[in-house]
Amino acid sequence: MQSDAAAGLVLEGGGLRGNFSAGVLRHFTDMCFVFSSLYGVSMGACNGANIISKQPERNRITNTCFVNDSRYLSYIRLLKGGDLFGMDFIFRDIPLHIVPIDYETFKNNSVKFWIGVTDCYTGNAVMFEKSMLESRDDVLTIMRASASLPLIAKPVEYNGVLYMDGGIANPIPLQQCLEHGEKPVLILTQPAGYRKRASKSVLLCKWRYPQFPELNRVLEHRHEEYNDVLATIEAKEKRGDVFVIRPESTLGVGRVCRNQRQLYELYDEGYALAQKCTPALQEFLSV
């Protein structure tokens, strides 16, 4: 379905709670919903990339089928000084060899795709549009940076700058969508009424990253920024200015989860809720 007005799709992160978003996106693809732009951070960027490459099934496969593979997720690796998630496996082996991403379709898709990262030196949010990235390696590097959370992943260098998870400085990239004059459709990964609490790992981050004082400042106030964005979204939702799809329950799935049954159930919840919301979304896009 092509809407008359330009619509932007905004994708929150949330680790493996992103399986909810994957289910929603699968239904959007089945219904042929067309958006002028996609905006994603962290897992939201990973899910969005597979929509741009027109491979929605990659979301279900990559977010579920490998969770019990130590190459994908390993606490032992983390304790030995590595990453919790196997970032080389996720952003090299899988997209290049195991479940290849269709880079030519991704590159040539006319839909704009914005990937959010956080500059470790300034603490500022940075958005890369896919046309700004010259190669498949560049795309995978920025996507890896967008999903690199403090303490469980290492900063990622790109063009001489170190970046980390896009959700740190820009948890839900609504503002960019509004600035581009698009009607926002948001897929969130927490139920209605959720509010983030202050992180218990702030002091640990300050100890781990003394070279990044601005990043630590943003991390310390991250919950406030996130909750402010949620309040803005809720106010706009009441006025009918944005359309929001969010889970009724996360079904016990957190940022990290190895229970494939729960992950499939969350995916199915996303698909079912998207089906239920379709008439209202069609009306929103047609106005």
- 165 carries an active-site annotation: yes
- 42 carries an active-site annotation: yes
Nearest to 43 by CA among 275, 201, 270, 284: 270
Q: Which two tokens stand for residue 4?
A: 């008359």
178 with 6: CB under 8 angstroms?
Answer: no
CATH architecture under which domain 7-282 falls: 3-Layer(aba) Sandwich (3.40)
From the candidates 36, 146, 148, 165, which is the catalytic residue? 165
164: left (phi over 0), alpha (psi -120 to 50) or beta: beta
From the candidates 3, 42, 53, 146, which is the catalytic residue? 42
Confidence of residue 4 (pLDDT cuts 50, 70, 90): very low
**CA 267-273-279 angle, 5° bins:** 140
Chain segment 110-147, per-residue pLDDT in tens: 999 999 999 999 999 999 999 999 999 999 999 999 99
For the entire predicted model, the pTM comes to 0.96
- The CB density around residue 224, as the number of other CB atoms within 10 Å, is 11
Confidence of residue 287 (pLDDT cuts 50, 70, 90): confident
